[in-house]
Amino acid sequence: MKVRIPRRALADATSWSASHLAAKPTVPARAGLLLEAGDDHLTVAGVDWGVTTHSTLAADILEPGRIVISGRLAAQVIATYRSDLIDITVDGGRATLSADRDRFMLTLLPEADYPAIAGRPAPDGTVDGAEFAEAVRQAVVATDPTVVAEPWRGGVQLTADGDRLTVWATDRYRMAERSIAWTPAAVGQDSIGALVPARSLADAVKGMAPTGDLGLTLNGKTAGLGDAARYTTLSRIDEYGRKDPHQFIPAEFVTEAIVPVDQLVAATKRACLVATDRKPKILVGFGTDEISVRAAGEDTGAVAMDVVDGQHLDGPAIQMAFLPANLLDGLQAIGTDNVRIGLTSNVKPALLHAVDDDSDYRYLVMPVRL
């Protein structure tokens, strides 16, 4: 194999694929990247147990071929070069990466041990890439991948219905949700969806083009997404045991308020400095003419109290206790200057809603006992 390719494109592709590889795979070949040269392009592919990645790069192919090289090492080396072009040549059991006068030789991994990589299927529909990336960022804050017995807590649900794609997640104690425009591939398409690992999804989105459309595949044994040059597949997560958190969103609220996000974030962070015991909580009071944030440290005896400029829209005064991290995650993901907060009682979930015509993001968070 003999290939000449722009260094930047190769560096981006190898770095993206290598980031999905297992650090200590049980099969050595799974630590590798598959490079296949043919016609006028080079493909870079990687595979782990739950994720596959595939990039197609324009290149000068002097001799076609197919090799497997150490993924993380190759990505690190290519990233350090500063030349415009890189030459890849294979001689016997070694691949040489040449950048100007610099040379780096890699021992090839056994190609026979490398798992098969499925082809790219036709997408079920498309979304705007920038909107999808933002929706994923906003949803992953409500995930918790540490609960191995309930893997759905670490997943993001993608559901396409009509002309909307809903992206949502829950870890049982909160839910984050955003919907964006969806263009189905077929007229009259039924509702389709997939629950996929949040971290793998977020990493995959980072490797896609920042603008333009993304194609999503939500049918089949795996889910997939890709732009014009890259494609990745994600394993599905079993939804068993997950309760639909949408049932906890009331048709109407008893008390509502609109609050500046930056002020509420700042007040919550100051309260966190006080609420440093083993079970920290902050108290948010929605009065008739003010919104207050309080915390008391059981260990230190310190007390913090802030009054936030907000607009109490309607309803009686309610005081609620939250885990500060859960409240902050929703506020920092909301992406608007103001947040609308709806309450029914101090023991039922609060709903944070973006105050923006361009976003329907909402974040449902459970309170804790006072």
DSSP 261-293: HHHHHHHHHHHHHH--SSS--EEEEE-SS-EEE
What are the C-alpha distances in Å from 80 to residues 2, 76, 104, 154, 179?
21, 7, 11, 34, 40
The helix (H) or strand (E) run that includes residue 183 is: strand 183-184
* Interatomic CA distance for residues 233 and 90, integer angstroms: 29
Strand pairing of 318-322 and 282-286?
antiparallel
**Per-residue model confidence (pLDDT) at position 115:** 86
**Per-residue model confidence (pLDDT) at position 298:** 64
C-alpha closest to that of 59 among 94, 92, 88? 88
> Averaged over 132-161, what is the pLDDT?
96
What are the C-alpha distances in Å from 137 to residues 99, 130, 246, 368?
37, 11, 20, 25
Percentage of the chain lying above the pLDDT 70 cut: 96
CA within 13 Å, CB half, 29: 13
Residues 103-125: tens digit of each pLDDT: 999 999 988 888 888 788 899 99
Tokens of 68: 């497997």
> Averaged over 29-57, what is the pLDDT?
92
Collapsing DSSP to helix, strand or coil, 169 comes out as: strand
**Per-residue model confidence (pLDDT) at position 25:** 82
* Interatomic CA distance for residues 67 and 308, integer angstroms: 61
C-alpha closest to that of 137 among 167, 163, 165, 158? 167
**Per-residue model confidence (pLDDT) at position 302:** 67
Residues 171-204: tens digit of each pLDDT: 999 999 999 999 999 998 999 999 999 999 999 9
Helices within the chain (DSSP H only)? 7-18, 71-80, 129-139, 198-206, 261-274, 324-333
**Per-residue model confidence (pLDDT) at position 65:** 95
56 near 227, Cβ under 8 Å?
no
- Residue 300 phi/psi, 5° resolution? -100, -25
**Per-residue model confidence (pLDDT) at position 58:** 96
User: 330: left (phi > 0), else alpha (psi -120 to 50), else beta?
Assistant: alpha
* Interatomic CA distance for residues 224 and 19, integer angstroms: 17
Give, as one character, the DSSP assignment of residue 254: S
**Per-residue model confidence (pLDDT) at position 72:** 94
**Per-residue model confidence (pLDDT) at position 30:** 83
271 near 260, Cβ under 8 Å?
no
176 near 169, Cβ under 8 Å?
yes
**Per-residue model confidence (pLDDT) at position 277:** 66
- 191 burial via Cβ count (<10 Å: 0-12, 13-18, 19+): exposed
Tokens of 279: 């079970």
C-alpha closest to that of 271 among 308, 301, 306, 309? 306
C-alpha closest to that of 118 among 206, 217, 10? 217
> Averaged over 338-364, what is the pLDDT?
92
Helices within 81-195 (DSSP H only)? 129-139
Residues 286-321: tens digit of each pLDDT: 876 678 898 866 665 567 888 888 887 788 889 999
**Per-residue model confidence (pLDDT) at position 291:** 87
C-alpha closest to that of 184 among 214, 161, 156, 150? 161
**Strands across the sheet containing 85-91:** 60-63, 2-6, 85-91, 94-99, 102-107
Look over the chain and give the mean of its residue pLDDT values, rounded to a whole number: 92
Instruction: Report which listed range, 104-118, 223-237, 269-283, is most confident.
Output: 223-237
Residue 220 has pLDDT above 70, yes or no: yes
**Per-residue model confidence (pLDDT) at position 23:** 80
